[in-house]
Structure 1
Amino acid sequence: MAEERRFRSASGVPIALRQRQHSASCRELAVRGPRLQLRSLSAATSAVWLAAYGLFAVSENSMVLSAAIFITLIGLIIYLHFVKIDQESLLVIGSLGIQVTSSYASGKESTTFIEMGQVKDVVINEAIHMQKVIYYLCILLRDPEDPQGVSEVVPLFQSSKPRLDCLIEVYKSCQEILEKRKTGPQSSEIK
């Protein structure tokens, strides 16, 4: 069962939240940002190449055109492979852990897995940036030396930066699974 809802990012860009429930204790939440627009890509490339042609006309050096083409292509490859993230997803499996995946425009994926034993909680935190309050979702990792303490904070959805209404949806889904995990072993011990 997959459900998709539309939201906006902190900067006002439209994003989509897709929730897919695989089982009672397994849920996938994916935030998809806008795709790369061919129009803006073409405009940027044209601007660089026109500027290079203007320099070529003044200097009459063909290396200017070659360098502009080479730099544009390398810059585009770097942007698509290391910067432009199309989708960020969170796979929460109550008995196993949380998998965080970022899918880049080039098709590359970056995945991090956090064992459920390390997860203390999932919370919505707030930060003040310039003159705005920005909300973000993060995973609190349990400190191995102090079970009540937090050793690390892992922020989620850093590229898409969803607004609070979207974060609340993700938070509620994560908390449902975490609560089932907390109450699951106790209810089986009582029986």
Structure 2
Amino acid sequence: MEDERIFSDICGGRLALQRRYYSSFCREFCVSCPRLSLRSLTSVTCTVWLVAYGLFTLCENSTILSAAIFITVLGLLGYLHFVKIDQETLLIIDSLGIQMTSSYASGKENTTFIEMDKVKDIVINEAIYMQKVIYYLCILLKDPREPQKISQVVPVFQSAKPRLDCLIEVYKSCQEVLAHQKATTTRS
């Protein structure tokens, strides 16, 4: 089963949440951010080139224009490859673990896998961000020496920053999978 709903991020931007239910113990959540805006890209490029042209007219040095073009192209490529994340995916399988994938605008993907026996819980936490309180989904990892304690907190959907209503949908579904996993573990 697959469905898609539209939510907002913490700044009011549009996010799409795709939910895929493969079974009662395997679910995937994809949060998609809007693509790179042509308007913002054009405005930044024009600003850099106009400043470079102004400096060129003052100095009459053509290397300024060449440097501006070179810096703009390199900056855009760096932004697309290292900064702009188009989609973040959370895949939870009760017998294996949790996989988080970030897909960049350039096509690069960054994947992190956490084994289920290291997961203590998945919670919604709150933080102060830019003078306001925001909520974020995070995975609590068990301390290997003391399983009752938490060793690490791993935030999910760091780039998209969805609002609470979107996080609650993902949280409830993850809790169902975790409950199924705990029930299976206690029976064994």
Name the TM tier (shorter chain): over 0.9
Q: State how far apart, in whole Å, the 1-side matches of 2:85 and 2:129 are.
A: 22
> Shift of residue 81 of structure 1?
0.4
Higher mean displacement: 36-45 or 137-146? 36-45
Whether 1:30 and 2:21 are equivalent positions in the alignment is no
> Shift of residue 128 of structure 1?
2.1
> Shift of residue 53 of structure 1?
1.2
Which residue matches 2:143? Answer: 143
Runs of 4+ in 1 over 3 A off after TM superposition: none
> Shift of residue 4 of structure 1?
0.4
Tell me the matched-pair count. Answer: 188
Q: State how far apart, in whole Å, the 2-side matches of 1:182 and 1:99 are.
A: 18
Whether 1:93 and 2:93 are equivalent positions in the alignment is yes
For structure 2, the 5+ residue unaligned runs are none
> Shift of residue 37 of structure 1?
1.0
Q: State how far apart, in whole Å, the 1-side matches of 2:80 and 2:95 are.
A: 35
Whether 1:115 and 2:110 are equivalent positions in the alignment is no
Q: State how far apart, in whole Å, the 1-side matches of 2:163 and 2:21 are.
A: 22
> Shift of residue 34 of structure 1?
0.9
Q: State how far apart, in whole Å, the 1-side matches of 2:71 and 2:186 are.
A: 60
Percentage of pairs with the same residue = 66
Letter in structure 2 aligned against 1:80: L
Superposition TM-score, scaled by structure 2 size? 0.97
| Alignment root-mean-square deviation, CA | 1.0
Q: State how far apart, in whole Å, the 2-side matches of 1:29 and 1:130 are.
A: 27
Which residue matches 1:125? Answer: 125
> Shift of residue 2 of structure 1?
1.1
Which residue matches 1:153? Answer: 153
Aligned-partner SS, 1:88:
strand
> Shift of residue 20 of structure 1?
0.5
> Shift of residue 24 of structure 1?
1.9
For structure 1, the 5+ residue unaligned runs are none
Aligned-partner SS, 2:86:
strand
Q: State how far apart, in whole Å, the 1-side matches of 2:116 and 2:150 are.
A: 14
> Shift of residue 185 of structure 1?
3.4
- Cα deviation per residue 1:71-130 (whole Å; 9 max; x = unaligned)? 001100110000001111100011000000000010100000000000000000011234
Whether 1:71 and 2:71 are equivalent positions in the alignment is yes
